[in-house]
Amino acid sequence: MFHVVPLGTGSALPTKTRHLAGTVVRREGRSVLFDCGEGSQLQLVRGDLTRGRLDAVCITHLHGDHFFGLPGLLTTLALLEREDPLTIVGPPGLASILGAIPGFGDGGPYEIRYVELEEGFEHAVVYEDEHVTIEARPLEHRVFCAGFRYQEKERPGSIDGEGARASGVTEGWQYEALKRGEAVDLEGGGTLAPDGLVGPPKPGAAFAYVLDTVPCDGGRALADRADLLMHEATFTDEHAERAADVGHSTARQAAEVARDAHAGRLLITHFSARYTDAAPLVAEAREVFENADAAEELERYEVRR
């Protein structure tokens, strides 16, 4: 289980009620940031999201509303005397841009591990630790753009405690070893294998982040059976032609992606400033995919498998 927290739900222009693109995923005291528009670090403070370790920042593309907040955030981390390495994933050229920040061009006060996605890539695992993986796929926008999927790894299956005890298991470490799929030596002699005592692995939860794009194969692959899909919905369907011209999606199109991908829940975001109220976009999405809502800034969305 983890939480998804939108920092900004607007597109291109900030408004009095909407900030620019940015979303945090928090799991067991560790965070990943997807996009970092202007004002993102202020939203982190307002949402009490600065505690814990920030492991990675994933930038979809080099339009300012998605990354102009990153230089300020990196500088703040330096002022806070960060020592842990930080992974930054993004399009070609992002490392050069950030390297121009004063104090960062010669290596910086902490290590930045850049993962630059290349033009024409089809799929990449861009971050991995013992609990999660993040994969990237290309989207279709006016410039190079990538979407991301945050996926928990499988967990060991449940163990039949009564059956294990009846088989001679007495120590806690033996239960843990069996859950890991390892055979254990028994006190009275002999070896016990986990076969028949441990259930199948439990799949982890998944979150798909699909901004900015028209509906495309990359976005659908990221959304496939995701427990939570965040998909841009810049316009309502009456502006579908405009959406296509500028490389964006309508609320109906976002809902069609969620429906066809068998996603668990849809959050639409990246709303044009012409919509002071997201209700028309939500209503349009729900005509296609009932479990759809507008992302609300600083709301914590729990994601479970």
The answer on whether 65 is annotated among ligand-binding residues is yes
Beta bridge partners of 230: 209, 267
| Amino acid at residue number 289 | F
* Residue among 296, 304, 288 nearest 271 (CA): 296
Rounded CA-CA distance 302/268 in Å is 16
Tokens representing 106 are: 């010669």
Rounded CA-CA distance 302/53 in Å is 19
The answer on whether 141 is annotated among ligand-binding residues is yes
The answer on whether 66 is annotated among ligand-binding residues is yes
- Write down the number of H helices and E strands in the chain: 10, 16
Residue appearing with tokens 């993040």? 134
Tokens representing 272 are: 């044009």
Rounded CA-CA distance 301/292 in Å is 13
Whether residue 212 is preceded by a cis peptide bond, meaning omega within 30 degrees of 0, is yes
The answer on whether 239 is annotated among ligand-binding residues is no
Rounded CA-CA distance 158/288 in Å is 37
Degrees to nearest 5, angle at CA 27 with 21 and 30: 80
The answer on whether 260 is annotated among ligand-binding residues is no
Burial state string for 282-292 with b = 16 or more CB within 10 A and e = fewer than 16 = bebbeebbeeb
Catalytic residue annotation: 65
Binding residues for Zn(2+): 61, 63, 65-66, 141, 212, 270
Q: Which amino acids are annotated as binding site, given as ranges? A: 61, 63, 65-66, 141, 212, 270
